[in-house]
Amino acid sequence: MPKPPGNICVKLSDMLIEFGLALTIAAAQSDIDRPLPAGTQIEFSAQTLAGSAVETKSLLGTPTVFILWGSWSQPSIRVLQLGPEIKREFPSVKTVGLATGDSREEAGRAARASGVEIVFWWDPAGRDRENSIATKVFKTRRFPTVYVLDSDMKVVKGFLGYRPSDKDSLFETIRSLK
């Protein structure tokens, strides 16, 4: 059997190296778009839509539902409507809409247009997806995403790519908070 030319072996070797590199990158990103485990401590700084600094530490002692949303995502805008309903049914639970992937101005316009009266925070990473709170803290790029945190700011449950069919499970999770 004739031996293949050397450049074929080099090309095959290069392909295997690239494939290995792709697998390494995929493994490093494997924690993206998976719900954070229950008990994960959430801590970050953001801004109000008016530009004031805020931190999750300010929410200690209060169970909180975080809605990660963006003005560019119509499903996100619809999920914001959960805020008032959560407030009515669970008055001791705070709902925070964390705008990500937007400028503060875009987030502010969308928040006002939604007519929803909840606490709105803005991710100062703006459109920098890789450095956003959604990616760095909540490990997701799916919107909308909803997380229920206990009064110690620890994850109870996350809903990545929240869908209306998740509502019963979300409310059951909130009911389980002590």
| Assigned CATH class of 34-175 | alpha beta
Order of all β-strands in the sheet with 45-48: 53-55, 45-48, 119-122, 94-99, 64-69, 145-149, 155-160
Question: What is d(CA 123, CA 125) in angstroms, rounded to the nearest whole number?
Answer: 5
Residue 65 CA: distances (Å) to CA of 58, 87, 105, 175: 14, 10, 23, 12
Query: What pTM does this model have?
Result: 0.82
Of 63, 60, 163, 71, nearest to 120 by C-alpha is 71
pLDDT tens digits, 58-75: 999 999 999 999 999 999
Per-residue pLDDT band at 85 (split at 50, 70, 90): very high
